[in-house]
Amino acid sequence: MADMFSANKRSSIMSAVKQKGNKSTELKIVRLFRQHRITGWRRGTLMFGKPDFVFRADGVVVFVDGCFWHNCPKHGEKPRTNRAFWAQKLARNALRDRIVNRTLRREGWLVLRIWQHELSNHNESRLVSRIRQALATKK
Cα radius of gyration (the chain):
17
Highest mean pLDDT among 50-59, 65-74, 117-126: 50-59
What is the set of domains in the chain, with CATH numbers?
25-137 (3.40.960.10)
Check residue 21 and give its pLDDT: 55
What's the predicted TM-score (pTM) here?
A: 0.79
The 10 Å Cβ neighbour count of residue 75 is 12
Of the given ranges (31-35, 89-93, 125-129, 135-139), which has the lowest mean pLDDT? 135-139
Give the torsion sign (CA, 101, 63, 127, 132). Answer: positive
Backbone dihedral region for residue 19 (phi beyond 0: left; psi -120 to 50: alpha; all else: beta):
beta
Q: How far apart are CA 98 and CA 43, in angstroms?
A: 21
First to last CA, the chain: 57
The yes-or-no verdict on residue 17 having pLDDT over 70 is no
Check residue 119 and give its pLDDT: 82
- Each residue of 67-102: pLDDT tens digit? 777 777 777 677 778 888 888 988 899 999 999 999
Name the more confident of 8 and 113. Answer: 113
Q: How far apart are CA 46 and CA 125, in angstroms?
A: 30
The yes-or-no verdict on residue 104 having pLDDT over 90 is yes
Q: How far apart are CA 10 and CA 64, in angstroms?
A: 29
Nearest to 74 by CA among 120, 125, 126: 120
Q: Which residues contact 76 (CB under 8 A, 6 or more apart)?
A: 67, 68, 70, 90
